[in-house]
Amino acid sequence: MPAKTGKEYIERLKKAKSNVYIHGEKVEDVTEHPAFKNVIQSMARLYDLQYEKPGKMLYTSPTTGNKVGMTYIQPTTKEELIARREATQEWARTSAGMMGRSPDYLNAEVMAMGVANDLFAEDDPMFAENARNYYEYARENDISLTHTLIHPQMNRSKAQHEQKDANVPLHLVEKRKDGIIVDGIRLLATQGGITDEILVFPSTVKKVGSGEDPYSLAFAIPNNTPGVKFICREAFDYGKSVWDHPLSSRFEEGDAIVSFENVFVPWERVFVCGNSSICNRTFRETNAVVHMSHQVVAKNIVKTEFILGVVLCIMDAIGIEQFQHVKDKGTEIMLVLETMRSHLYRAEHNAKLDKWGTMTPDFEALDAARNWYPRIYPRLAEIVRILGASGLMAIPTEADFNNEEIGSIVRRAMQGANIDGYERVQLFRLAWDMTMSAFGSRQTHYEYYFFGDPIRMGMTYFDNYEKDYYKNLIYEFLGTPKLANVSVNTN
């Protein structure tokens, strides 16, 4: 079947009736529940956009000839790589980059693992075939995916098999002729209640040894599989209007604990079963992390563009653009934006075909960007707060403007240098929702931990960085013996 529409996306969720819980209650229909219905409409908008801009958002399937989502494409040229990125940014602009787990993120992962599947064959050729088949299935049916990577935070000084209750983390219970039985808990499924299926993979931020083999699993199953429950955190969509809560009322993705209660997974949906070595190497050796990072950097550029736009509008609204410290803070955001664009440009224009025939971006550029952005994003949010100052606390609601007794007072009190009170408050509510509301605070926290603990990621980045070239520069300058010949890509 071809790429789905927004209506088809919603109909699938209605029909699935996945086990979703929020605020202590089971959800009967996520498409109508106040915590989910608005973001589901935003997701539906993404799928409708595929048909509104088919030249940018769709391509012809190599197996069926149907029009399928561009974000699933296996790029074989730089032009196709850029086309996929442009589709990603088209989607990102609908949410100002605030939906971190829009479908294209996992579409890129499924593509990479489906094409570079021979790693999974180390255990059994069946697993490689499963990964290849799942990529085609997901692409041809336009499957929306959530995923879960990490175990519950119990005693983080110990491995999973050393925990006081080692049965809490998701683990293998039994291998059967027709599949496996798994049981336990996983975190943190963003969009867990509003997608078709869940992709289970272990995090590789922290490598694990053979003692973790029972916890080293990778598979994909429908969200409504018996025994699967999504226990969602409190919703940050409080049922307010788009005017009062312009972002959280539309783009609150939600995050969920996932409970697997003796869940059956058929063999054809299994990619890794009890092999920590394969799990440790999956994301890097299949280049999945490269293609996922490409999507993330593209999305973060859109997000930074939006933040810059908000800051520039605040400057205009209250007449602060002439102050030195204000211009300097605007410059900070501009430098972040241009640096991210430069990383993306280098990644795409230094792309090369990998051994599976996939045009793969330069990971050095993307790796730098994905390590840097989590560290700098809190500063971007801080700049918005600093420049908004007390204006982010004095933000009446739309109802205040509509009140006959106080409406005119509020309008006069809230006027800006170049903008009336109604429009200024609307702008400042956007800035507040982006940085200071529950939704905005979650955005900062989410970006900081997007790929895992930034400190641990930084340690890995440092360990993998080519350092001998730079040390030799010093040895050569001092006239002392050099290390073995090394080279570095400085493009």
- Mapping DSSP onto H, E and C, the string for 159-187 reads CHHHCCCCCCECEEEEECCCEEEEEEEEE
For residues 144-152, average pLDDT: 94
Domain span holding position 373: 286-451
> What span, in angstroms and rounded, lies between the C-alpha atoms of 298 and 310?
19
State the pairing for strand pair 20-22/25-26. Answer: antiparallel
**308 and 236 co-located in one domain:** no
> Total structural domains in the chain?
2
**267 and 315 co-located in one domain:** no
Establish if 487 belongs to a structural domain: no
Contact present, 55 and 38 (Cβ < 8 Å): no
Q: What is the pLDDT of residue 158?
A: 85
Residue 486 has pLDDT above 70, yes or no: no
CATH of the domain at 423: 1.20.140.10
Establish if 470 belongs to a structural domain: no
Beta-carbon count within 10 A of 266 CB: 14
**398 and 351 co-located in one domain:** yes
Q: What is the pLDDT of residue 326?
A: 97
Residue 477 has pLDDT above 80, yes or no: yes
**149 and 277 co-located in one domain:** yes
Q: How confident is the model at residue 490 (pLDDT cuts 50, 70, 90)?
A: low
> pTM score, two decimals?
0.95
Establish if 168 belongs to a structural domain: yes
> What span, in angstroms and rounded, lies between the C-alpha atoms of 146 and 217?
16
- Our measurement of the distance from residue 152's CA atom to the centroid of its chain's CA atoms, rounded to an integer in Å, reads 20
- DSSP code at position 94: T
* Domain end position, chosen among 283, 312, 342: 283
Question: What are the pLDDT digits (tens) for 346-397?
Answer: 999 999 999 999 999 999 999 999 999 999 999 999 999 999 999 999 899 9
State what percent of residues in the chain have pLDDT above 70: 98
**266 and 331 co-located in one domain:** no
- Our measurement of the distance from residue 204's CA atom to the centroid of its chain's CA atoms, rounded to an integer in Å, reads 16
Establish if 478 belongs to a structural domain: no
Establish if 476 belongs to a structural domain: no
Q: How confident is the model at residue 487 (pLDDT cuts 50, 70, 90)?
A: low
Q: What is the pLDDT of residue 164?
A: 86
**252 and 384 co-located in one domain:** no
Which of 150-159, 226-235, 315-324 bottoms out in mean pLDDT, i.e. has the lowest? 150-159
Beta-carbon count within 10 A of 89 CB: 19
**253 and 315 co-located in one domain:** no
**303 and 268 co-located in one domain:** no
Question: What are the pLDDT digits (tens) for 56-102?
Answer: 999 999 999 999 999 999 999 999 999 999 999 999 999 999 999 99
Establish if 482 belongs to a structural domain: no
* Domain end position, chosen among 255, 283, 311: 283
Establish if 378 belongs to a structural domain: yes
Residue 468 has pLDDT above 80, yes or no: yes
For residues 257-269, average pLDDT: 98
Cis peptide bond prior to 344, omega within 30° of 0: no
Contact present, 326 and 313 (Cβ < 8 Å): no
Q: How confident is the model at residue 485 (pLDDT cuts 50, 70, 90)?
A: low
Q: How confident is the model at residue 489 (pLDDT cuts 50, 70, 90)?
A: low
**135 and 266 co-located in one domain:** yes
**278 and 305 co-located in one domain:** no
Q: What is the pLDDT of residue 203?
A: 78
**373 and 408 co-located in one domain:** yes
Q: Give the chain's mean pLDDT.
A: 95
Q: What is the pLDDT of residue 221?
A: 98
The H or E element that residue 261 is part of is strand 255-266
Question: What are the pLDDT digits (tens) for 1-31?
Answer: 799 999 999 999 999 999 999 999 999 999 9
**47 and 94 co-located in one domain:** yes
Question: What are the pLDDT digits (tens) for 442-455?
Answer: 999 999 999 989 99
* Domain end position, chosen among 221, 256, 283: 283
Q: Is 150 exposed, middle or buried (0-12, 13-18, 19+ CB in 10 A)?
A: middle
Establish if 480 belongs to a structural domain: no
CATH of the domain at 206: 2.40.110.10
